[in-house]
Structure 1
Amino acid sequence: MFNLGTYQTLNVARITEYGYFLQNTSTRGDDDVLLPNKLAFRDLQEGENVRVFIYKDGEERLTATMQDPKITLNSLAFLEVKDANLHGAYLDWGLDKDLFVPHREQVGSMREGQSYLVYMYLDDKTDRLAASAKLDKFLDNENITVEEGDEVDLWIWDKTDLGYKVVINETHEGLVYHNEFYHDIYTGEQTTGYIKQIREDNKIDVTLRPIGYEKVSPNADFILQRLQQVGGFLDLHDKSDPEEIHNRLEMSKKTFKKAIGRLYKKNIIRIEDDGIYLEE
């Protein structure tokens, strides 16, 4: 059995002028799939095992490739539209056949040259791989698999009045409020976040700051805000002149050193010889 949209390790059953016919030795049956010569990238030997990605080519034939796509089944990626027409949109996902997005799976109309965060699924009716920008229906906030305080992987999804919607571990929907930002973020960006609160209605609040940041002193918070305002770098450090620190930040050098020490321990900044930097 060959699973569309996934990687599989298959065995070279026979070699022809067209390429390599591969079989799954762990399942019974005579089914095989062709790995065309142009998608093999190196010479293979009969009986050799090879890791390939399974998809359908432009003629809807089951095909194996040694190429690495930008997205796999039941996962997310930020992909560029190569073409958009009356039938739908076609995304560049790293293979010779573009990934199709039906109009019904678009939010607004996708435009050529623009990139969108999409989910790849297997269309049960057509048995074809397709993508959708309507992420909500693929996410599950009924069965929560994270806990408050967990470090999680995030996709930045969509800007709202409250903040940014995010996808948590490619499974749940969450929200990062505007006051949680300590650097610029963009739709389609992947980053690390932390589960701040899981509400009774299973809505999830996420922060981009390590848990425990709220315990950092107001002075550290002030320095963090100043760093955000000036692009993430401040040319002050623990050897700076006390008068300069006071003139620019209105705090003593002792207070400044204590505040940046707390930010450093929380991995929010790094301290270099020329000053302090926001961690990316």
Structure 2
Amino acid sequence: MIELGKVNALTVLSRRDNQYYLDGDEWGEIAWADTQPVIDLPAGTKVEAFVYIDGKGQTVATLQMPLAQAGEVAWLKCVSLSHAGAFLDWGLPKDLLLPFSEQKGKVSEGRSYLVRLFLDEDNRIAASMVLDDFIQDQAFYYKEGQAVQLIIAEHTELGFKAVVDNQYWGVLYKNEVFQPLKKGQKLTGYIKKIRPDHKLDLILSQEKYGQKVDATSAKILDILARRGGYIALTDKSDPGLIYDTFAVSKKVFKQAIGGLYKQRRIAIEQDGIRLLEHASAK
């Protein structure tokens, strides 16, 4: 079954007048829209192609891959405005329409927006900023600890609101986020908790706190050894500098160097930490 607005595995049927035609199943023959198609594809060859309906109402395919497909959420840049709405760069030659009816607030050329791609009443792919029309608050069939794909939607008083697997809303709490996050960012997260109302609490690491401290301690010793035994960071350093070096929060870093200090593996000086000679031999 061919899915419009998505990548499909298609079979080459024939080549006529320098134009390839692919087996579109219930959609019949699908013309290859690429202006410079790959040469010498015999009938029966399987190709991965993005299938969509073009401006003329024809079902076509392309080997060029868009930045997002129908049913997905993406952070896309507005490249032009018109009487029909805004047009977004989604990686294909013909820009993606963001209709006025699907906009929230003012849309400006040159800025990027978080949108969800969908098929309109004519099965043409379009974009919408009204994510709540597509993203559900309640999620089912997930398990705590399960890995999921996240897209950061917005910063809130609680932390960050994120889209989970292009389908559900979830929350990352600010006291559990130890790295910079920005709107539209894609990353892997985990289901921390499924609340009684089936809403999702998220976390960015499965590693337990004690395990994270231990791993950070090992990383500190490794970096000290590779940097001549000294790092210009202490428990009073800027959290951003600590994260850039060790990818952990200041709290975890403080716990790690505190443990190493008690073990007499490092010395904590005014402006940095130093590897003790006997520790480097361990």
TM-score range, shorter chain: 0.7 to 0.9
1:16 paired with 2:16, answer yes
Residue 116 (structure 1) aligned to one of 110, 113, 116 = 113
> Alignment partner of 2:151: what SS?
strand
Aligned counterparts of 2:6 and 2:202: Cα–Cα separation in 1: 30
Q: Kindly provide the CA deviation profile for residues 110-157 of structure 1, in whole angstroms up to 9, marking residues without a partner as x.
A: 21111122211111x222111112222212333423222222221111
Q: What is the aligned partner in structure 1 of residue 37 from structure 2?
A: 40
Measure how far apart 1:96 and its partner are.
Answer: 1.7
Q: What is the aligned partner in structure 2 of residue 261 from structure 1?
A: none
TM-score (norm: length of structure 1): 0.74
How well do the aligned residues superpose, as a CA RMSD in angstroms?
Answer: 3.3
1:179 paired with 2:175, answer yes
> Alignment partner of 1:161: what SS?
coil
Q: What is the aligned partner in structure 1 of residue 219 from structure 2?
A: none
1:69 paired with 2:66, answer yes
Q: 1:229 to 1:128 in 2, by over 3 A?
A: closer
Aligned counterparts of 1:252 and 1:3: Cα–Cα separation in 2: 57
Aligned counterparts of 2:135 and 2:70: Cα–Cα separation in 1: 14
Q: Is the 8 A contact 2:171 2:202 kept in 1?
A: yes
1:137 paired with 2:137, answer no
Measure how far apart 1:90 and its partner are.
Answer: 0.8
Name the % identity. Answer: 32
- Spell out structure 1 runs of 4+ moving beyond 4 A: 214-217, 223-227, 249-252, 255-258
TM-score (norm: length of structure 2): 0.73
Aligned counterparts of 2:179 and 2:32: Cα–Cα separation in 1: 45
Q: 1:150 to 1:73 in 2, by over 3 A?
A: same
Q: Tell which deviates more after alignment, 170-179 or 34-43.
A: 34-43
Q: What is the aligned partner in structure 2 of residue 52 from structure 1?
A: 49
Unaligned runs of 5+ in 2: 217-233, 247-252, 267-274, 276-282
**Residue identity matched to 2:243:** G
Q: 1:61 to 1:252 in 2, by over 3 A?
A: closer
Q: Kindly provide the CA deviation profile for residues 3-49 of structure 1, in whole angstroms up to 9, marking residues without a partner as x.
A: 3112222222221225112224xx478x2111145152333223333
